[in-house]
Structure 1
C-alpha cells in the first residue's frame, strides 16, 4: 500500500486498478513536461508486459515506482539545464552561443554535402555543446540504406536509463527517406515526428546528396540545416589557423596555413591530419611555412599539375629539381610522373598540329580542355616546338613509359632523363 501511495504522489492522481489502466497511460506529474515522459512510456510498457500484464508481485510494483521516480527526476533536470533549454518547448533556433550551428536546443539537424569530414565535425560539435551544458549524450548510429523509419524514431522517443540525451545519427539519409512502396511514405512519418520532436533526443540526418523539401523547413524550426561542401582556399586557410589553435594548441602562422592549403588543397580532412602531424614537430608551439614545406607532401592532384608546369617551363634545372622533389620528398610514384609526361606530350603534339592548320588558340584550348596554370605555357610550347618536335615528344614519353614497364633501367632515373628530354624539346635548356 505504501508503494502505491508513492506512485500516486509521483503521478499526481489517484491510481486505479493496475489491470484496468496500464501505468503507461498515466499523465505526467505537475512540474514534469509531458514530452519528458514520452520516452518513458515504452520502457514502462516493457516492464508491465514482463510482469504478465498485471502487477501481481510487490517487487514488480517497486521496480515500476523506481523507474518512474528516476525518469521523473531526469525530466526535471532536463527542464532546468538540459538540452530542451527553453522549458521543454522543443523550439529554438538551433544556434549555439557562438553563432549558427548545433547547440543545446537542437532537436534535429540535416548535414548534407560531399565533405564527410565536415559532416562528422558538425556532429561532434553537437555532442560538445551538450557536454559543455552538463548533459551526458549517447550517440546511436543507423545505416539509412537498411534501417527502418520506425526503428530510428522509436530510438528517438525512448529515454535512455543512463544518458540524459541521445544523438541519433542516420547516414545515407536520402536512402532512408525513399518511398518503399506500400504503407505510409517515410517522409510523411518523419515530418509528423519533426512537428513535435522528442525533448530527449536529436535526430541527425547525414547525406552526400539531398533533395530539399518540407523536412528542411521543419528541421530549421527545431534545429539547423548545414551544407557540408569543400571551402575555397582562403576559407580553408582560416579554418586551419583556428583548428590548430583550438584543437592542437599550436600557432599556425598565416603564411604557413596558405602553404599548407597550396600543398594539400582545401580538403579539411587532410588539413586536419597534417596539422596534427605538424603540431608535434613545431618548435615552441609555432608552425612555420618552412616546416610545412619540409614535412608536408603534395596532394596527387597538385603534384600532377606541378609536373606539367615544370616540364613546360623550358628550364631544365628547375624541371629536374621539381621531378626529384616530387618523387623523393612527396613520394609521388614515378608512374604518375610518367603519366604527366605522356599527357603533356600528347597535348603538345595535338596543339602544334591545330595551330599549324590555323586554328584559333581559344578553339585549341576548348578542344584539348586546357585550363589552369598550364594553359598558356602549353600553347606557347606548342608554337615553339612545332609539329615535328611535338611528335618527338610523344615518342620520347612513350619510350620512357615502355622502358619502365618492361624493367629496362632504373624507374626513377628513367623519369628524370625523360623529363630533361621533354624540356629541351619544348624550349631548350636554360
Structure 2
C-alpha cells in the first residue's frame, strides 16, 4: 500500500517515524506493507532529523498526488488552499484520503465528501478533532443507530490550560496565557485558540456527524476567552462552578433545529468536564439510548495526532485491499442551524448596584419583562454600593441578552460587571 504524505512538520514527521518504527505491526494489521513513496513539502532541501531517503521529498505536491504509484494520500498541511485542490484531485482519482485538516473540513467538507462518494473511495479524519481521542469514529459509526441529543466538549488545549491556571492559581488571563506560551501550549500568535476559531471548526465537524446535517464554521456562534477575568473565576467558584471554554452542539426538541456554539461558560464542579485540566481535551456526548458518554485524552501534539492519523490509515488500507468503502458522510436530516438568539441557555449576571431599597425589585422587573425566570440571587453590601449576582433558569438567548441590555440602563445599576453563560445542568 503506497502512501503519499503531504506535510512534514511536527505531525508529519511523527507519522514518518511511526510508519518506520511500527512497520511490521502495521503490515500485519493491514495485510500488506505500508510504503511511503513521496512527501510533499514547501522546502525539499531543508535538513530534517529523519532517517529517510532525501529523494522522497518534493515541492510538487499536486504531481505527487497524481502519480500512478500512489494508492493513499495523507494530508497534514492544514489550511484551505492548496490543500483543498490536492485532496479533491486525490478523491476524484479514486484514492482514499486521510486528513487532520479541521479548517478545510469545517469550511468545505461537503465538497470533499461528495467527491469521495462519487468516486466510491474513503475520506477519514479522526485526527481533525481531539487529536488521539477516538471521537469521530464513535459519532460516525458506533452511535449510528442512536439519536444524539447533545455534544459538549473542551476541544482546545490552549484555552483549557489558561482557564485551569486562572482557576487554580488566581493568575490573570495575561499571566496564564504567557505561561501557556512559555510551555509551548500557545502559539506565538494565539488568536486562533483564544478567539475560538479552532474550537469553532471542531464544533462544526462534530455537529455534522452528530446530527447528520450540513454545518460549516460560519454557522457556529463564537466567543473567545479574552474577556474572562479573575472576578469571573472567583464568582464561579463561589457558586460551585468552574469556567471552561466549551464547544456545544445540541438538537432542539421544540424546533427540530440544531444549535452550534463556542464560548466560555460556567459548569458545575460536579460535571465530568470540570475536572479536565491543563491542555487535555474531553467531549461529553448525550444520546437517547446510549445515555452519557465521555471521551478524554490529549487533544493535540505530534505523537497523539499521528496516532489518530495512522489509525485511519490502517482502516482505509484494509478497506482498499478488501475492495470496499467505509462509512461515508450522511446529511440526510438537513436540520437547520438555529441563530444564537433562539438557543436556550442560562446566564450568570453580576451587577454593581446602589445599596438602596427597591433596587432588587427594579432588577427583578427587568427579568420579568423579558419572561426570564431568576433561579438564585446573592447580594453583598459594601456601604453605599452592593453587588448582585443572579443566575437564571433556561431561556432563549435573545431574551437573556435583551434583559442584560435593559439592566445597563436601569436607575440604581451602576454597571453590569460580568455576564457568562451557564451550562452542564443546574449547579
Give your verdict on TM over 0.5: no
Q: Which TM-score band (shorter chain)?
A: under 0.3
Which of 1 and 2 has greater Rg? 1
**Relative contact order: is structure 1 or structure 2 higher (C-alpha 8 Å, sep ≥ 6)?**
2
Structure-1-length-normalised TM-score: 0.26
More strand by share: 2
